Amino acid sequence: MGRVGRIMGQSSQSWMWQVSVLILAVHGAAVGQECPGAGDCCHAHPNPGCADAACCETVCAFDTLCCVLEWDGHCVGSARGVCAACPECTRDGDCDEGSACFRDLCVDGACRLTSVAYGDVDGSGGDSPIDLDDIFCVLDGFASPALCPNGDIHPCVRNGDIDLDDILAVLDAFEGANPCGCP
Ligand SMILES: [Ca+2]
Ligand SMILES: [Ca+2]
């Protein structure tokens, strides 16, 4: 849902609240009021503003909603473009090429996308890239995606969930399947 849609979709809020937020957004009245705010400028959080005052003010100067509504993914994207303190990534999960044929890594603040064999969710590579460790990885990811950030290989264009289909996909890959045509 778009950002305006999210505002308008908050049906539990009164129309007065919605109008107030929009007036604040249009006139920029809140710029600076949430700078610095709580939370890392480089990651999304539910409150407006973020801790690095200079970064916060720079982003809110052209995206007022970040200092009125919440510091969401749009604000993080802006921060990565304009704030020296925000590298392209700080963890593997920040990098998502979206394909089962690439492993997304964050190396020294930059996303590095490495081509992998289908099912090689732990990126071990080598002569036998798919082994028991990949099955264990995706099982760990089933419990907590952060434990296997590249475990979402089903469907071929990732759907954002590590679930039973991904576990079955790794088992298929273990037996030689390559439905996504990975190199
Ligand atoms: Ca592997
Ligand atoms: Ca999946």
pLDDT tens per residue, range 91-109: 777 787 788 999 888 888 8
Q: Are 162 and 138 in contact (CB under 8 A)?
A: yes
Q: How far does the centroid of ligand 1 lie from the alpha carbon of residue 87, in Å?
A: 28
In this model, does residue 78 exceed pLDDT 70?
A: yes
CA–centroid distance, residue 171 to ligand 2 (Å): 14
Whether the Cβ atoms of residue 21 and residue 54 lie closer than 8 Å to each other:
no
In sequence order, what are the beta bridge partners of 45? Answer: 71
Structure tokens at 86: 């925000």
Q: How far is the CA of 77 from the centre of ligand 1 (A)?
A: 31
Nearest ligand atom owner, CA of 154: 2
Give the Cα-Cα-Cα angle 128, 132, 137 (nearest 5 degrees). Answer: 110
> What tokens were used for 56?
């916060």
Distance 10 CA to ligand 2 centre (A): 29
66 DSSP assignment: G
Q: What is the pLDDT of residue 1?
A: 47
> Interhelix angle for 73-82 vs 53-62, to 10°?
110
pTM score, whole prediction:
0.57
For the cut 80, the answer to whether the pLDDT of residue 152 exceeds it is: yes
Backbone angles phi and psi of 98, in degrees to 5: 90, 5
Distance (Å, whole) CA 23 – CA 130: 55
Residue 48, classed as helix, strand or coil, is: coil
Give ion ligand 2 contacts, CB < 5 A. Answer: 152, 154, 159, 161, 166
pLDDT top residue among 166 and 80: 166
d(CA 39, CA 56): 10
Ligand 2 mean position, distance from CA 96 (Å)? 13
What spacing in Å lies between the alpha carbon of 88 and ligand 2's midpoint?
A: 24
Confidence grade of residue 49 (pLDDT, cut at 50, 70, 90): very high
Residue whose pair of structure tokens reads 């289909």 in the numeric block: 165
